[in-house]
Amino acid sequence: MDSTRYLYIINTSDELNNVILGHAEFAKEAGFIPVFVFPWRNGGGRFNDYGNYETIRLNFVFKSTSPLSYLISILKFIFFTTTMLILKNNVRYVLAIDLTGVLASAFLKIRGCKVYTLVNDNFAARYKLPEFFSWILRKFETGAYKLLSSHCIFPDASRHRLLGSPNIGPVSYLPNVLKTVKSPRYKGNQGEKLMVLFCGWLVESRGVELIPRLLEITHPNVEFVLVGAGSDDLLQVLRESSRVTVMNAVAREECLNIMCNIDINFAFYNPSIPINRVALPQKVYDSILVGCPIFINSEVAMADSLVVTGGCLRAPYFDINDIADQLTSLAESKEILHTMATSLWMSEYREKTIDYELVRCQGVKMYSKFLDAAIDH
């Protein structure tokens, strides 16, 4: 194999991330040979199957249980990535995932590697911080991209604007639209219960902390299905309710099937955290794909476009009474859900948003340019 074609994908997580896997597919189709590099997570007890892709496991556990453990883990990430890769002759091209991936690639950059960056999650906007500290983090993040990255890839222009639209060199925008071999069609729950789905990252900033109060003030037929992982303490409390079902994370195909057999998909993002205001949730795209009605908080930028489809409800994140009233109204008259589903399925927004073939062509073209530039160099 041509050693100049290896693309090392450096990430802090060993979790199978469909967006990152999608980029690996685009790079592979363009002619690169993707290799995933990551540490242990969650105590080191689980390994994910990356199929035909080669993987390199860094010999430490990345912990983020506190600010100090997170900082120490970043320093370890830089050290172990450097010692593992810097002497390899075929390490010439890197796809760094987010700021942490870029920092881990610093010494590889000094050695002469080309570093491309997938900014999947703006680091400076992940946390609720005083404006001064947010400004410092933004400056640090943009400085790192400008200094170390040859090209930054954002899922949307809004994520670039969230950094202040800095001049960080070449930038591309590639939507997080995933490949689906065969997508099912929404049917809804056939029983009298209103089944409300929470899926993905089940933590306090994703609306899960609203459920205890919603259980108190919504119609008794409103029930909640939680699929994913997150805040263990909160999930344990919720498991005690007969109106809540908690399931472990499942493969995307299975999640799509679940989405087709519940009534509405709940996509709430605490707007106190800056990045949540420009959230681009995969679960929303998947809802659009299968035609499942959506309930989103009004502070999310994409809410306006979703409501226009006729397949989406919205309410302010902290207006628990408005949320409860809308859920109760649906529980008392579920017929409207199929009207919403049909509207979402037939919408122009759906046609434009889930065009995977267009995204694939854009992605392959982008990585082909990276490879052509690499070969010319």
3-state secondary structure of 225: strand
**What single string gives the DSSP state of each residue in 317-368?**
TT-HHHHHHHHHHHHH-THHHHHHHHHHHH-HHHHHHT-HHHHHHHHHHHHH
* pLDDT, position 374: 62
Lowest mean pLDDT among 5-9, 70-74, 228-232, 373-377: 373-377
Distance in angstroms (rounded) separating the CA atoms of residues 272 and 124 = 13
Q: Which residues pair with 198 in a beta bridge?
A: 226
3-state secondary structure of 215: helix
The residues, ordered by sequence, that sit 6+ positions from 298 with a Cβ below 8 Å of its Cβ are 314, 315, 316, 317
3-state secondary structure of 149: coil
What number is the average pLDDT over the span 93-100?
Answer: 97
The one-character DSSP state at 121 is S
Q: Are 261 and 142 in contact (CB under 8 A)?
A: no
* pLDDT, position 356: 86
Q: For residue range 344-364, what is the model confidence (pLDDT) as tens digits?
A: 999 999 988 888 889 999 999
* pLDDT, position 322: 98
Q: What percent of the chain has pLDDT over 70?
A: 96
* pLDDT, position 45: 45
Among residues 207, 199, 205, 209, the alpha carbon closest in space to that of 127 is found at: 205
2, two tokens:
């041509």
**Residue ranges of E strands in the chain:** 6-10, 33-40, 54-61, 93-97, 114-118, 151-154, 171-173, 194-202, 222-230, 244-247, 264-267, 294-297, 312-315
- Three-point CA angle 119, 283, 226, nearest 5°: 120
* pLDDT, position 176: 87
Domains of the chain with bracketed CATH: 3-177+356-376 (3.40.50.2000), 194-353 (3.40.50.2000)
Question: Is residue 130 very low, low, confident or very high in pLDDT (cuts 50, 70, 90)?
Answer: confident
More confident residue, 373 or 58: 58
349 φ/ψ sector (left φ>0, alpha ψ -120 to 50, else beta): alpha
Q: Rounded to two decimals, what is the model's pTM?
A: 0.83
What number is the average pLDDT over the span 55-80?
Answer: 93
